[in-house]
Amino acid sequence: MNLITRPFILIGDAVIQWLELIGGAGYLFVDAARSVHVALFGKRGRRLGWDSLWAQMVRVGVRSIPIVSLVVFCIGAILAFQMAPILRDYGALERVADIIAVAMFRELGPIMSAIVLTGFAGASIAAEIGTMVVSEEIEALEAQAISPIRFLVVPRILSTTAMMVCLAVIGDIMGVTGGMLVSRGFLGIGMLQYVHHTFDNIKMQDFITGLVKAGCFGTIISTLACHLGLGVTGGAQGVGVATTRTVVLTIVALILVDLMFTGVFYFLGW
Amino acid sequence: MSDVAIQVRDVTKKYDNRVILDAIGLDVQEAETLVILGGSGSGKSTLLRLMIGNIIPDAGTILSLGKDLCAMTPRQLADYRRSIGVLFQSGALFNSMTVFDNVALPIREHTDVPEETISIMVKIKLELVGLRQHADKMPSELSGGMKKRAGLARALALDPKVLFYDEPSAGLDPVTSAEIDQLIIDLNEKLGVTTVVVTHEMDSAFRIADRMVLLDRGKFIVSGSPDEMRNSKDPLVRQFVHGLTEGPLTDRRRAGGYESDLLAEDI
């Protein structure tokens, strides 16, 4: 490697790594999608399928409600404080509610919940599955003719996707509440006035596009976490590496996909 | 003792151009206990993984229970795996489930047996390995020997025709190790299952084996009864069986060009 070829090699490596990641995760996703019906409605897997789906929903979704609420609530409050001086200059202080509403429902509710969930659930899924690889549990499943995809991956993807949508709704509400309390307490905007402005400006589209994004985020978080977890090699250290990679790569992927969605929605006029 | 349960023919396996198994052949007779011996890196674990269908060979064929493992559809492979049991080195219990649920899992997954019957079946399997009192414990509460027993109970859950053991005595104290060996012998006699054990523990190997094979650098060096192995004149077998520090195995390691390595200039 000399100075001229080095950048090309580095960029090429990075591109190959991303392509591998997308390919691997995509392959896993297709595999999982194909065994969804067996996991949930198959004669034999039924009992376990629903049980583990339920357990995963509690683990991924319910336990992360407090932290998601806190984070998005604070973001709402921060936004209110940040917007206030500028809007006051324009004499349109009460429009804080409009801005927060659109920002929350379209963007911040879903993406902030997704980022929190990446740290909360993505990391834990990757670490859990990685540990199972290291302790031969995945091999043991295969040796017993139990597909790890159906048994482990499907419940995790389904539950994370479903719970991500629910969390986005909770995030939306908490964000607006955060903005409302700051507006009421420090900006002199009445609760009713705030609520009015929120509902006057928010369209069903804002809400729905946010939830569509949230569902995709949930699928991305869980698929990447499962993919990187299953790819663990080399013991405890490998689990650590996979966990870190999951968090970093998932957040990057989320932002990129978010950008893509937003662009598409913009040009479609949604 | 005449029927062949598993037939390995000219099987070669490579990882990144490194030959792990080199055109090996092996017959496992029905109901016998075959011990595959070999040092670390000799390819014995790879051979085990080939025989349970977790990996496929680069060349050669494996016929197990009359089926060609290399030409199986996923469904056929699943059928085959239901008729074998595997005890992994660490026991490989699912840590999120109790011992009972671990043993019940394959039955729940692969049969339509009602829950009351499953409970009876699981208790029978746990009694076989002496763990009936510990059914409600989580794997993290068990000792190493108990984990292996529980893993064995799970391997037995669907009444396999062949049982594979990966290093059954690894990481166990001598007494526990002897108990596991006795269990392997008992199960082989009581249930008449074909047993394949991969190990490097000589004491354990001599206790349980009907027949032994020694794997070295991806090839079989010798095969025979425990007595034949013990009295073998082959220097390599002698070194391995008696754990000698002088012999072909250690010579090979020493002949690694120490001198040229020391004197080599840095690249």
User: B4 pairs with which residues across the strands?
Assistant: B29
The boundaries of the domain holding residue B123 are: 91-159
Measured CA to CA, the distance from residue A33 to residue B152 in angstroms comes to: 33
Contact residues for B101 (Cβ-Cβ < 8 A; gap 6+): B94
Instruction: Classify B73 as helix, strand or coil.
Output: coil
Give domain status of residue B118, yes or no.
yes
Give domain status of residue B125, yes or no.
yes
Determine the distance from the C-alpha atom of residue A142 to the mean position of all C-alpha atoms in its chain, rounded to a whole number. 29
Say whether pLDDT at B267 is over 50: no
End-to-end CA distance of chain B: 59
Tell whether A44 is within 8 A of chain B (Cβ). Answer: yes
Task: Give the number of domains in chain B.
Answer: 1
Q: Alpha carbon of B29 to those of A252, B71, B214: distances in Å? A: 55, 22, 17
Other CB atoms within 10 A of residue A128 CB: 19
- Confidence label for A105 from pLDDT (cuts 50, 70 and 90): very high
Please compute, for residue B1, the number of CA atoms within 13 A of its CA located in the half-sphere on the CB side: 7
Other CB atoms within 10 A of residue A70 CB: 13
| pLDDT at residue number B70 | 83
Q: B118 versus A52: which is more confidently predicted?
A: B118
Q: pLDDT tens digit string along A12-63?
A: 999 998 999 999 999 999 999 988 877 777 765 445 567 788 888 998 888 8
Say whether pLDDT at B254 is over 80: no
Say whether pLDDT at A79 is over 90: yes
Give domain status of residue B115, yes or no.
yes
Chain B residues near residue A132 by CB distance under 8 angstroms: 94-95
Chain B residues near residue A146 by CB distance under 8 angstroms: 105-106, 109
| pLDDT at residue number A78 | 95
**All structural domains of chain A with their residue ranges:** 11-268
pTM: 0.85
Other CB atoms within 10 A of residue A228 CB: 26
User: What ipTM does this complex have?
Assistant: 0.80
Measured CA to CA, the distance from residue B34 to residue B265 in angstroms comes to: 49
Measured CA to CA, the distance from residue A135 to residue A143 in angstroms comes to: 14
**What letter represents residue B251's amino acid?**
D
Whether B46 and B16 have beta carbons less than 8 Å apart is answered as no
User: B166 pairs with which residues across the strands?
Assistant: B198
Tell whether A102 is within 8 A of chain B (Cβ). Answer: no
User: B21 pairs with which residues across the strands?
Assistant: B13
Mean of the per-residue pLDDT values of chain A: 90
How far does the CA of residue B98 sit from the closest CA of chain A (Å)?
A: 14
Say whether pLDDT at A238 is over 70: yes
Give domain status of residue B144, yes or no.
yes
The H-or-E segment that residue B37 falls in is strand B33-38
Please compute, for residue B223, the number of CA atoms within 13 A of its CA located in the half-sphere on the CB side: 13
A137/B79 Cβ within 8 A:
no
Most confident of the ranges A48-57, A157-166, B208-217: A157-166
Give domain status of residue B183, yes or no.
no
Tell whether B129 is within 8 A of chain A (Cβ). Answer: no
Measured CA to CA, the distance from residue A128 to residue A234 in angstroms comes to: 15
Contact residues for A14 (Cβ-Cβ < 8 A; gap 6+): none
Chain A residues near residue B109 by CB distance under 8 angstroms: 44-45, 48, 144-146
